[in-house]
Amino acid sequence: MPTMRAVQVPRAGGDFELVDRDLPTPGRGEVRVRVQACGVCHSDMFAKEGVMPATPFPIVPGHEIVGLVDEVGPDVLGGWDTGDRVGVGWFGGACHHCGPCRRGDFITCENGRIPGVTFDGGYADAVVVPADALAHVPDELSAEEAAPLMCAGVTTYHALRSSPARPGDRVAVQGVGGLGHLGIQFAARMGFEVVAVSRGREKEDLARELGAHAYIDSEAGDPGQALAEMGGAAVVLATATRGEAISGLLPGLDRRGQLLVVGAAETPLQVDAMSLIGPVASIAGHASGTSTDSEDTLRFARLTDVRPMIETMPLERAGEAYDRMMANDARFRMVLTTGQ
């Protein structure tokens, strides 16, 4: 029986270990993808630490997967074929029969699956996924570049395009990191006036190179106030990890503005009702996106030359890549490569 390399977490909180596993076989409606690159995402922590009860151990993490269709299981519709370049992100397939699915709202599926969290993911030479989790990957994007777009990319692109901001509006991106460095690029290519908000002045030049028209050093004063003085933002894309930092930007919203929350914060947002009522403002959550949202992301990245900044490591150094990401040292996304 053919085998493959995989990096697995043996138990909640356990260390990564490189193992040989049987090459998995796609079941009904599934395909096997030969992994070329897999991004390392902060949410891999859900698997590593066993945060969600649904995670089966040992688990192979990884939900920013790009590779080639290797084998197509029975009853797969949609024309997927061996050799197709595909990507898989946080969205690992919907059930197609729950309430949200019957209404076509797959991202809120009550039985939604997540690669690398509820089933084995992309820290491996191959992965088996439901066909509805597949996104086509354009030839113009390398596997390494496309991988982070499957999660960090689709999250920021899809959040921004679905937001109330219209071209020419001011949009603030909080944080110049894994999410933010993509959010700035996407926002600029969408015709927004982009304000980057980050700690210190160190990332200002980079933010401007990525497309930001203005920069706010959140340590130099009250960033919400600074944003308000610029005229306020139609949308603030918040990527901070502390709730207070996120809600602290509420005063920076223009009337009818929206604070867009895309990442799990460690502490709750503190929201004064009047900060929403007076300016008729809102706070909205945004979940990553389905496989077609990912396709749109890749298509937009190709069309407008958006690319993630990445550091690559071979699969067997997954633990090192993960540590670097968790330490916030990555500039800005770690990507594992298999050499395939």
Q: Look at residue 164 and give the partner it binds from a copy of itself, Zn ion, none, a contact being a CB closer than 5 to 8 Å depending on partner kind.
A: none
- Interaction between residue 95 and Zn ion (CB under 5 A): yes
Query: What span, in angstroms and rounded, lies between the C-alpha atoms of 294 and 34?
Result: 19
* x-marked contacts with a copy of itself along 40-79 as a string, rule CB under 8 A: -------------------------------------xxx
Size of site (CB under 8 A) for a copy of itself? 68
3-class SS of residue 333: strand
Could you give the CA distance from residue 67 to residue 181 in angstroms, rounded to a whole number? Answer: 24
The 8-class DSSP code of residue 152 comes to I
**Does residue 286 touch a copy of itself according to CB under 8 A?**
yes
8 Å CB contact between 299 and 186? no
- The Cα–Cα gap between 183 and 327 comes to 21
Instruction: By CB under 8 A, tell whether 243 contacts a copy of itself.
Output: yes
The CB-of-152 to a copy of itself minimum distance in angstroms stands at: 15
Q: Is position 327 an interface residue for a copy of itself (rule: CB under 8 A)?
A: no
Nearer to a copy of itself, 198 or 297 (CB): 297
Q: How many CB atoms lie within 10 A of CB 317?
A: 18
Task: Give me the residues paired with residue 55 across strands.
Answer: none
Is residue 151 part of the contact set for Zn ion (CB under 5 A)? yes
> Which partner from the list Zn ion, a copy of itself, none does 307 bind, CB cut-off 5 to 8 Å by kind?
none
Of 33-41, 65-73, 296-304, 312-320, the segment contacting a copy of itself by CB under 8 A is: 296-304
Q: In whole angstroms, what is the distance from residue 97 CA to residue 267 CA?
A: 34
Phi and psi of 225, rounded to 5°?
-65, -45
x/- binding map, residues 175-214, to a copy of itself, per CB under 8 A? -----------x--xxx-x-------------------x-
CB 39 within 8 A of CB 151: yes
Residue 278 binds: one of Zn ion, a copy of itself, none (C-beta under 5 to 8 A by kind): a copy of itself
Q: How far apart are the first and last CA of the chain?
A: 19
CB atoms within 10 A of CB 93: 25
Binding residues vs a copy of itself (CB under 8 A): 77-79, 95-97, 100, 102-108, 132, 157, 160-162, 166-168, 186, 189-191, 193, 213, 243, 246-247, 255-256, 258, 261-265, 268-287, 290-292, 296-297, 299-300, 303-304
